[in-house]
Structure 1
């Protein structure tokens, strides 16, 4: 990696991980990971079952048009949360090629995290408004007659937890910026 190392929202050192806050966060991350895997596997099994039912038994299950998008939405938004937590999203790192000043690079990364937090909050607001709209109308899916908010809450949950992790990210980046180049995060 060129330039200073990226700062993680969740600290990796054992001392910080012993606090109650980060122990609870670690359990939350486990729940997110398990739910993401379950939603993804369920989606795959649902698709396989649909192929068998439609072409093997010639009796398609019409509810798949509702269940598949719901499982996909949950898998996608849980994946977005987990990628935000672990900083696993794609980043170009071009800033480190243009600028060599560590403080400037960290400040630009901090500004990027703040911009991401603002974007997630705006999207989360509209997702919440949409979920509230469906809740007020008591909308249900056509075939399964499930409440539409089951789909909508994947977005609300996703944006809310992404905002939470961006807040942690911003706090970690501000601390790193305050500590300066002596804090050990400089790439060796």
Structure 2
């Protein structure tokens, strides 16, 4: 297989993942908003709370949170303090700073991935369930592992992208790892 074919395959997979996560964020955000409105109406207007609705909302919200973290890592749009980058005027120096920053982020994501995987495996082994609806807790904790995995992969892509920019001195395309 040629490098162009491999690049097309990974590019297509990346686009599919990104579009899927974006859609899930939109649907999940709408579901959380609707469940909150429904819960308020049921509890305070009709005086009849619906059992388990808060638990469902939390499950969706935690997945939406980690989906957003994945896209923030992919697009390099997460909150960051870029004071060091403003001290240097050349694109290459800024790329070196970004590379170092992403290496640190990669180490942190790797640690997060390790602990999320260990906790997820332990939790799966215990079979622990939620207190309200008795859903397996791995449904919500799995979001940490999913988020950590894709944040680590996109951090690797960003390290490679900025390292290439630092070596060549060119500017990468806007929008993060692509």
TM-score category, normalised to shorter length: 0.7 to 0.9
Would you say 1:131 and 2:120 are equivalent positions?
yes
Report deviation, 1:177.
1.6
Number of corresponding residues: 168
Deviation per CA, 1:65-112: give whole Å up to 9, x if none.
321221111111000111111111233432233223433321121011
Higher RCO structure, 1 or 2 (CA under 8 Å, sep 6+): 1
Structure-2-length-normalised TM-score: 0.86
Of 38, 41, 65 in structure 1, the residue corresponding to residue 54 of structure 2 is: 65
Deviation per CA, 1:98-154: give whole Å up to 9, x if none.
223433321121011010011011112111222122211111112212110000011
Report deviation, 1:184.
5.0
Report deviation, 1:22.
0.7
Report deviation, 1:31.
0.5
Give the secondary structure class of the aligned counterpart of 1:109. Answer: helix
Report deviation, 1:21.
1.3
Would you say 1:150 and 2:129 are equivalent positions?
no
Would you say 1:103 and 2:92 are equivalent positions?
yes
Would you say 1:179 and 2:168 are equivalent positions?
yes
Residue 10 (structure 1) aligns with: none
Would you say 1:113 and 2:102 are equivalent positions?
yes
Partners in 1 of 2:81 and 2:132 — Cα distance?
44
- Runs (4+) off by over 3 Å: none
Residue 170 (structure 1) aligns with: 159
Distance of aligned partners of 1:184 and 1:147 in 2 relative to their CA distance in 1, 3 Å threshold: closer
Unaligned runs of 5+ in 1: 1-14
Partners in 1 of 2:88 and 2:171 — Cα distance?
20
Deviation per CA, 1:41-70: give whole Å up to 9, x if none.
111111111112112221112312321221
Report deviation, 1:171.
1.1
Report deviation, 1:166.
0.6
Of 49, 73, 76 in structure 1, the residue corresponding to residue 65 of structure 2 is: 76
Of 158-167 and 97-106, deviating more is: 97-106
Give the secondary structure class of the aligned counterpart of 2:55. Answer: helix
Partners in 2 of 1:42 and 1:128 — Cα distance?
27
Partners in 1 of 2:19 and 2:12 — Cα distance?
11
